[in-house]
Amino acid sequence: MRVALAQVNPTVGDIDGNAAIVAHRYADAVAAGADVVVFPELVLTGYPPEDLLLRREFLERAKSAAEKLVRETITAAATALIGAPTMTGETVFNSAIIASRGKIHAVYHKMCLPNYGVFDEKRYFAHGAKALLLDIDGTLAGVNICEDSWEPDGPHRPLCISGARLILNLSASPYHRGKAGERRKAMASVCCNGRAFFCYTNLVGGQDELVFDGGSFVLNDDGDVIASLPQFVEDMLIADLPLAANGKRRKTSRKGAAAACIVLRTLPDEKPAIPPPAVAPVLSDEDEVLKALVCGTRDYLHKNSFSKALVGVSGGIDSALTAAIAAEALGQKNLTGLVMPGPFSSRETQSDAETLCRNLGIEHHVIPINAAFDVLIRSIQPALGRRPAGITEENLQSRLRGLILMTFSNATGAMVLVTGNKSEAATGYCTLYGDTAGGFAVIKDVPKTLVWKIARRINEQAHRELIPETIIKRVPSAELRPDQKDSDSLPEYGVLDRILKAYIEDGASIAGMAAAGLPEIEVRRTLDLVDGSEYKRRLYPPGVKITPRAFGRDWRRPLTNKYRSSR
């Protein structure tokens, strides 16, 4: 059986554009002699459509587009599996449409609906009740949609018991660090337990805070990867699978066994020769995260009709990394850096900021804020009275920079990219309407210790200092008061990031963290900062999710909340 896995990048809500992507890839697969073409989950609407699914008009447009697509485009003998929402009366399903020769032969409804982390499918969809088996030229293949294959007792089990030699999975699996390995391990267990080959087709591209990494693959019945696509790029995998026709479906009385078997026939034409399928190289941790950030940033801006961006470049590591990612994502000509030295900025940081912009090849402007800061202080002081300088004056500098960035944004139509990292967002070490002002926070989910690693990796890839080494080695400072260091307000980042991972991602207790060797004083201090900063995070722009639990869809704490961890 020749199978094609179409790893594509749809846009949520662009139903006609997504249908055109499906049509184009189907034609390519037919030209390559594919018997089966598998598209990702909800490819026709994009994933996740969220509350668009509550609008009947949206669902009806998706239905009409699917029918037109099949009638006018899916006209060859090759069987297409297309992810789309479907309706039965008032009930909505997450479905796979099985079509060929201009007709819809069957519709499979997803049976296992995820409702954890970033997923809330039970808000929108009803559970499917019947598994589906396809008889394609005598070979039995089962249909799964994403979570169906993650559940140990999912519908893949009765399908394999019924004789399926192949599981075809339509997926929309968002990225986080290490997710690719988790997927392959989970799907390998399906192969080994069911003695079946496995085809996994995943979405690619950014959607709001989520980024889909693709990485579609084929596993043999021993669970070994025999073909795969690279992460973070659109592509199509075409592979000949050594599946002998296995005749009739086995009879079984097992509860939940395949309730439907659709017989499909492909044309016996001689197929064109294709090269052996390749296995894409596995990316390193830093390379994988970097590609996710570039992909998520590019798609967020482009899918929201922005072609240009602005970054406030301070001479610090966070703004340097954000600028480097944006330059790669959008192109050098589409990024502008604003260097905005203030009363406590050093000559070294200003010089490094300008060097960075020259290294990246981006336009930049130097706009000092000293005069504006002095005028505002003199204007406000009579009302506030004479008082020692403190956080008010520090935040005013940050807000002046935010004001200048947003002014440039209004004048040029470019989106402002926020430069804060996860360690800062977690602890509230940021200024509302200052360094949080903007439309997209590129490294919002990147811990500070990982920021340094990715910066070094960028220089390694470039074989030169795109990001000046002096920036990477500099002691972190907001430079809003004399001799300021981040460690004046926060634990050292090496300790802080370990605490944040334990608390946010692993759900560890204070006692558990202390038992793991983390200093209890710093643990309690950090948790107080995290628990007291939810109001700031709610006002933070969206950013690319790269950890298993990111602020936003993964983290839903009440704003008004007196609970604090005590043990």
Strands 210-213 and 415-418: unpaired
Q: How far apart are the first and last CA of the chain?
A: 58
**Exposed (0-12), middle (13-18) or buried (19+): which is 391, by Cβ within 10 Å?**
exposed
Q: What angle, rounded to 10 degrees, do the helices at 15-31 and 56-72 form?
A: 20
Q: How many CB atoms lie under 10 A from the CB of residue 389?
A: 10
User: What Cα–Cα distance (Å) separates residue 243 from each residue in 14, 156, 221, 223, 270?
Assistant: 37, 18, 10, 15, 17
Secondary structure in 3-state letters for 84-125: EEEEECCEEEEEEEEEECCEEEEEEECCCCCCCCCCCHHHCC
Distance CA 197, CA 246 (A): 13
Of 259, 301, 272, 242, the C-alpha closest to 133 is 259
Please enumerate in sequence order all residues whose Cβ is within 8 A of that of 553, keeping only pairs 6 or more positions apart, or say none: 117, 118, 209, 210, 545
Determine contact, residues 186/520, Cβ cutoff 8 Å: no
Distance CA 498, CA 316 (A): 22
HSE, CB side, 13 Å, CA atoms: give it for residue 440. Answer: 31
Q: Element (H or E) spanning 148, and its range?
A: helix 147-150
User: What Cα–Cα distance (Å) separates residue 345 from each residue in 264, 309, 397?
Assistant: 70, 24, 11
Determine contact, residues 206/46, Cβ cutoff 8 Å: no
- DSSP 8-state code for residue 476: P
- Amino acid letter, 249: R
475 phi, psi to nearest 5 deg? -65, 125
CA angle 4, 169, 81 (to 5 degrees): 55
**Exposed (0-12), middle (13-18) or buried (19+): which is 374, by Cβ within 10 Å?**
exposed
B/e letters for 27-46, b = 16+ CB within 10 Å, e = fewer, are bebbebbbbbbbbbbbbbbb
**Exposed (0-12), middle (13-18) or buried (19+): which is 119, by Cβ within 10 Å?**
middle
Distance CA 526, CA 548 (A): 20
Beta strands (DSSP E) in 153-203 are 166-171, 197-202
Joined together, the tokens standing for residue 448 give 């500070």
User: What Cα–Cα distance (Å) separates residue 245 from each residue in 34, 38, 135, 248?
Assistant: 17, 20, 9, 9
Please enumerate in sequence order all residues whose Cβ is within 8 A of that of 340, keeping only pairs 6 or more positions apart, or say none: 312, 314, 366, 367, 368, 369, 400, 401, 404
Which residues are identified as catalytic? 41, 110, 146
Joined together, the tokens standing for residue 66 give 């699917």
